[in-house]
Structures are given as structure tokens and as C-alpha cells.
Amino acid sequence: METILEVNNVIKQFGGFTALSDVNLRVQQGERLGLIGPNGSGKTTLINCISGAFTDYQGSIRFDGTDISKLKAHERTKRGIARSFQIPRPFSSMSVMENLLVPFAFVGGKDGPVQQKEAMDILQGMGLADKAFVQSNQLSQVELRKMELARAMAAKPKLLISDEAMAGLAGTEVDEVLEILFDLNKLGITIIMIEHIMQAVMKFSQRVVCLDAGKIICEGTPETIVKNPEVQRAYLGD
């Protein structure tokens, strides 16, 4: 399997505060990677560096063979990196369908009837087809989360970063979103999942990386991670 994402020696500081110190990560094509860590450990900062929300960090990031460190976020999206947001950010004045047509228009270059059909297919796969023409500010929490993922899909990504897509959802809702992520992975999309819900991370990930205070403290299979004393200390304290 080839490496699709390389994070090399990334350091990110905010004024005097170091959010990420010397992070190294390799993600394989088609992999399901779980990223865990307590609040404030730097998970979202790492995602922001990968997706291009931050471009002023030290170190380099390579995607699909090219150095993307200098590229802006929208250029990275065009290369195939998509992300969902921890707190959903819908285009609230637009319908669900129109939300999806934005990435179709700007990544794919077209937003005609063919793309509208494709958008409906995506929505169908997520169980949102009946809400296609509802204004997105009318959706429930779980529907918003699904729309975030649908919108990310409309950008036809090779890598999808799901930032706590299940936060605050109830039991069956978590399973719904999990199933969507599994289906996307079956299509060949590499997925990095940031999540606090441990069962979801265990079920989903082939490999788990744990972050604490801006450093990767261990990586491995879900079983080994859960038993790792450092991970336990990071979450539960000494």
C-alpha cells in the first residue's frame, strides 16, 4: 500500500503556546485511521494544518506524492483532501442540495443536472434524500452531521478527515454515521477519524494514533492502544 499522507516534523505555535511539537505521521492509501487524545491535545490543530486552515507551521506535509505545505485550503481540497467540522458549518441560507453543489461547482467545475443527480445519489446513500430541498438551517443535529459528510463527499476526495462527526449523538445515530464512514471507505477513500466515543474508534479503526499535549504518544492497533498505560494516563490523569 502506498503512503497517501505524510506529516513531517510539524510544529505549530500560537504566540508562546506550542500546540503541536514535532508531529510525524504516515497514512496509507485506503486506511482507516483513528486519531484520539484528550481535549486540547492538538487534534483539531493537526487537522487544520493538514487541511490548510493553517499554513504557518514548521515542517512539511506531503499528499499523494507532492508537497502541499504552501497550498491554501481550497487548493488542497481540489487535490483531494476533504474535512468535516467539529461544529457543523452548513451554508445555512442554502438547501441541502445547494450545499452539495458548492463543492461540485468549485472542485469539479460543473454544477449542472448531472452533478445534481450525483448529489442525490450521495444524499440517498446517507438517508438524506428526502431533505434535499429543505433549507439546511432546518436540519436536526444528526442530519447536519450527515450533510457535512455528504458535502465533503461532493468534493470527490481521496482523503476524508472526519472531525468528531459523532459528538453529541445518541446510540443509533452514532451507528448510522459509522456505517456511512465504513461505506465511504469501501469506495476507496482514506479516512482519518477524530473521535471521543471509544467504541466507535475501536470498531472503525485499523490503526489508532494517540495525541497528547501536541505530541504523538503512541500508535498501534485499537487493542494495543487501549491497554497502553501512557494513553490511560493522558485521558485519566496520574
Partner 1 sequence: MKYAAYSSLLLLGLLTLSIMSGVNEYFFFAGFVVLQFVVLATAWNILGGYAGYVNFGVPAFIAVGAYTAVVLFKSISAPLLVQIIGGGILAGALGLGVGLLTLKLRGIFFSIATVAVVFILETLVNNWRYVGGATGLQLTRPGDLWFFDSYVRMLFFVMAVLAVFSVTIARYVQDSFLGRGLRAVRDSEEAAECSGVPTLKIKLIACTISGALMGIAGAPMPMYLSYIEPLSTFNLSYSIYALGMPIIGGTSHWIGPVIGALLLATLQQIVTVTVSNELNVLIVGVLLVLFVVIAPEGILGLIKRWKQSSK
Partner 2 sequence: MFSVDLIFEAVLFGILLGCFYAAVSLGLSVAFGLLDVPYVAHPALLILGSYFTYALCQTGIDPIVCGLLLMPVFYLIGIAFYRFYYETFEKRSTDTGVRGLAFFFGMAFIIEVCLILAFGVDQRTVSASYIGSSLEIGDYRLPYRMLVAFVIALSLTFVMTIYFSKTFNGRAIKAVGQDEGALRLMGANPVKIKQLAFGIATAVNALAGAMLIIVGPVEPAMDRIYIGRTFCVVVLAGLGSMSGTLVAGLVLGIAESIVMMTLGPSWAPAVSFGLLLLMLGARPQGLFGR
If one asks whether residue 214 binds partner 1 (CB under 8 A), the answer comes out as no
Closest CA to 218 of 204, 235, 200, 203: 235
Stretch that binds partner 1, among 48-56, 185-193, 208-216, 223-231 (CB under 8 A): 48-56
Give me the sheet containing 32-36, strands edge to edge.
81-83, 159-163, 190-194, 32-36, 207-212, 215-220
Contact 4, 63 (CB under 8 A): yes
Residue 141 is a binding residue for partner 1 (CB under 8 A): no
CB of 132 to partner 1, least distance (A): 17
Among 171, 173, 172, 191, CA closest to 181: 191
Q: Minimum Å distance from CB 56 to partner 2?
A: 13
Q: What is the size of the binding site for partner 1 (CB under 8 A)? A: 29
Site for partner 2 in 118-157 (CB under 8 A): 137
Indicate the residue among 95 and 228 with the shorter CB distance to partner 1: 95
171 touches partner 2 by CB under 8 A: no
Answer yes or no whether residue 77 interacts with partner 1 by CB under 8 A: yes
CB neighbour class for 188 (10 Å; exposed up to 12, middle 13-18, buried from 19): exposed
The set of cell numbers assigned to 6 is: 505524510
Q: Which window, 15-23, 103-111, 168-176, 186-194, contacts partner 1 (CB under 8 A)?
A: 103-111
15 binds, among partner 2, partner 1, none (CB under 5 to 8 A by kind): partner 2
- Least Å distance between CB 113 and partner 1? 16
Q: What are the distances in angstroms from CA 130 to CA 30, 119, 184? A: 30, 12, 20
Please give the C-alpha separations between residue 78 and each of 18, 74, 104, 177, 216, in angstroms, as whole numbers. 29, 6, 10, 25, 28
Residue 151, interface with partner 1 (CB under 8 A)? yes
Q: Are 222 and 208 in contact (CB under 8 A)?
A: yes
Residue 194: Cβ within 10 Å count: 25
To partner 2, the closest distance from the beta carbon of 39 in angstroms equals 10
Q: Decide: is 134 part of the binding site for partner 1 (CB under 8 A).
A: no
Which positions from 85 through 104 interact with partner 2, judged by CB under 8 A? 92-93
User: How buried is 21 (Cβ within 10 angstroms: 0-12 exposed, 13-18 middle, 19+ buried)?
Assistant: middle
Query: Please, what is the minimum distance in Å from the beta carbon of residue 92 to partner 2?
Result: 6
Provide the binding-site residues for partner 1, judged by CB under 8 A.
Answer: 51-53, 72-74, 77-78, 82-83, 85, 89-94, 98, 101-103, 105-107, 111, 151-152, 154-155
Provide the binding-site residues for partner 2, judged by CB under 8 A.
Answer: 15, 92-93, 137
